[in-house]
Amino acid sequence: MARSPHLVTERDELKLEVAVGTTRRRFELSDRAENLLRDEGYGPADVVPFVTAKALVLAGGATLPEKSDERDTAWELGGADGGRQVTRTEREVLAEYLRGVTVPDRSLDALREHVRKHDLPVDPTEVTGRAEKVGGLSDIARNL
């Protein structure tokens, strides 16, 4: 039976442990992702809803030490069944997080599909990638 995604402490750092393929891997958390989890009351050994864990991986907030491709890694994630369900408040906080981060372009479509599939309270077009952000900034600069 696969163990649900959960938080662990390693060398005084909070990490997200998730099944990837046939092994369990520890993901490093960005400061923003760690703050999201801590602000929602998560700490070491707490189970993290799979919806949240996968969104963090796709958005680049939870990465493997070798910095592998977010989309490919997300496709290999396991342990979704029987885990903790995401609450309404957590869904809203996750949606706000996704609005505020710049997503790696390669995983943008997969993250938008994840948002639609799990009916997160954010319009998928509000989740933006690096190329879209740069293009938007260029448009702003041209209009000045």
pLDDT in the model for residue 81: 58
- Residue ranges of alpha helices (H) inside 1-144 are 31-39, 50-59, 70-75, 88-100, 105-117, 130-143
Residue-wise pLDDT for 42-80, tens only, equals 999 999 999 999 999 999 999 999 988 999 999 999 866
Give Dmax (Cα) for the chain. Answer: 57
Burial of 7 (0-12, 13-18, 19+ CB in 10 A): buried
Residue 138 in this model has a pLDDT that exceeds 50: no
- pLDDT higher than threshold 70 for residue 137: no
Please name every residue paired with 36 in a beta bridge, in sequence order, or none if there are none: none
Tell me the helix, strand and coil percentages in the chain, rounded to 5: 45, 20, 35
Task: Report pLDDT digits (tens) over 15-28.
Answer: 999 999 889 999 99
Burial class (CB in 10 A: 0-12, 13-18, 19+), 94: buried
Q: Are 76 and 20 contacting, i.e. CB atoms less than 8 angstroms apart?
A: yes
Domain boundaries in the chain? 6-143
Q: What is the pLDDT of residues 79-124, one digit of tens each?
A: 665 678 899 999 999 999 999 999 999 999 999 999 999 999 999 9
134: confidence class by pLDDT, cuts 50, 70, 90 = low
Higher confidence at residue 62 or residue 133?
62
Task: Label residue 140 by pLDDT band (50, 70, 90).
Answer: very low
